[in-house]
Amino acid sequence: MAKAPGASLGPVPFADVEADSGLVSGVPEQLPEEHADADLVEPKDMVVSRWHFHRQLHPELAFADVFEAVCSGAVAYGPVWDHMLGYWSASTARPDSVLFLRYEELLRDPAEHVRALARFVGLPFSGAEEDAGAVHDIVKLCSFGHLKNLEANKTGHVNPILQIPRGALFRKGAAGDWVNHMTPEMARRLDEIVADKLHASGLTFHE
């Protein structure tokens, strides 16, 4: 990628945050010295992902229990909409420091999102790199299917304490799987809760 004047990927901190999965409290305050990429998943799909992940430790865990916990905000690191709003607000206040992405949009046009990320870190692709297929190559190398099939992601565990196989981090990588787990009533309830929590912010999710 072409290097913009003064840009560097070496010593500059870069935070890649999956903002709907916790571990984000306190990070926005640190962002003036960082670039952060907050990648959010549609809330209904996020519930499904949480359930599948937690079942690695608790196979008996019912989907309805995870759904109720998310709806009530009784999940690790607090209500998911608080994290969404935190990064959304930071991205609108400091667009040079926080790049806000929706997973569903990334799936629809991964190449354009690679270009946007390159511009965000100050290293846009040159015309020669575009012509050589650099964007296409990056999309292919970073695709869900490619990453899932890497040997490093098929063996071992997430960490020594939680004996969760690395492969559990790669399930489908698709949007809209919630339709296979939620009743229409459940989906409508969560949509209404999220819309109520986010309505004043301008943040929306479209599948």
Share of the chain above pLDDT 70, in %: 81
Mind listing the pLDDT tens digit for each residue in 34-60? 566 677 889 999 999 999 988 888 899
Domain boundaries, the chain: 14-198
23's tokens? 């571990």
- C-alpha distances in Å from residue 75, one per residue of 61, 68, 71: 14, 10, 9
Mind listing the pLDDT tens digit for each residue in 156-170? 888 878 788 888 888
User: What mean pLDDT, rounded, does the chain reach?
Assistant: 83
Predicted pLDDT of residue 37: 67
Predicted pLDDT of residue 77: 81
d(CA 22, CA 80): 7
Q: Could you give the angle at the alpha carbon of 171 between the alpha carbons of 167 and 174, nearest 5°?
A: 150
Which residues, 6 or more positions from 98, have their beta carbon under 8 angstroms from its beta carbon? 28, 31, 35, 36, 38, 87, 90, 91
Mind listing the pLDDT tens digit for each residue in 76-86? 888 989 989 99
What end-to-end distance do the CA atoms of the chain give, in Å?
31
Predicted pLDDT of residue 31: 47
Which residues, 6 or more positions from 144, have their beta carbon under 8 angstroms from its beta carbon? 170, 173
Share of the chain above pLDDT 90, in %: 53
Report the topology of domain 14-198: Rossmann fold (3.40.50)
Strand order in the sheet with 35-40: 14-17, 35-40, 98-102
Predicted pLDDT of residue 91: 92
User: Is residue 62's pLDDT more than 90?
Assistant: yes
26 vs 103, higher pLDDT = 103
